[in-house]
């Protein structure tokens, strides 16, 4: 990841949640038109595992 991208992420993290949601929505609208290659089975499995691990962490923190 470039320094510029890292700086953008740091700025994003400092925004209030409502502005983060607005910005994320705008980014999603813009990436809809990009031509992404299909994900491999390994990539899908990795992303699913990361998602479930994060949900487990959030659930543990909530309890």
Identify the pLDDT of residue 17.
97
Identify the pLDDT of residue 62.
85
Identify the pLDDT of residue 32.
87
Identify the pLDDT of residue 36.
85
As given in the structure block, the two tokens for residue 7 are 């700086």
Three-state SS letters, the chain? CCHHHHHHHHHHHHCCHHHHHHHHHHHHHHHCCCCCCCCCHHHHHHHHHHHHHHHHHHHHHHC
Asked whether residue 43 carries a pLDDT value surpassing 90, the answer given is yes
Is residue 20 a contact partner of residue 31, using CB atoms and an 8 Å limit?
Answer: no
Domain ranges of the chain: 3-62
pLDDT above 90 coverage of the chain, percent: 83
Nearest-angstrom CA–CA distance, 39 and 45: 10
């Amino acid at each position: 990841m470039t320094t510029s991208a890292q700086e953008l992420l740091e700025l994003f993290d400092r925004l209030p949640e409502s502005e983060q949601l607005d910005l994320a929505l705008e980014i999603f609208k813009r990436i809809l038109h990009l031509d992404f290659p299909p994900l491999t089975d390994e990539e899908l499995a990795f992303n699913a595992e990361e998602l479930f691990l994060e949900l487990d962490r959030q659930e543990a923190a909530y309890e």
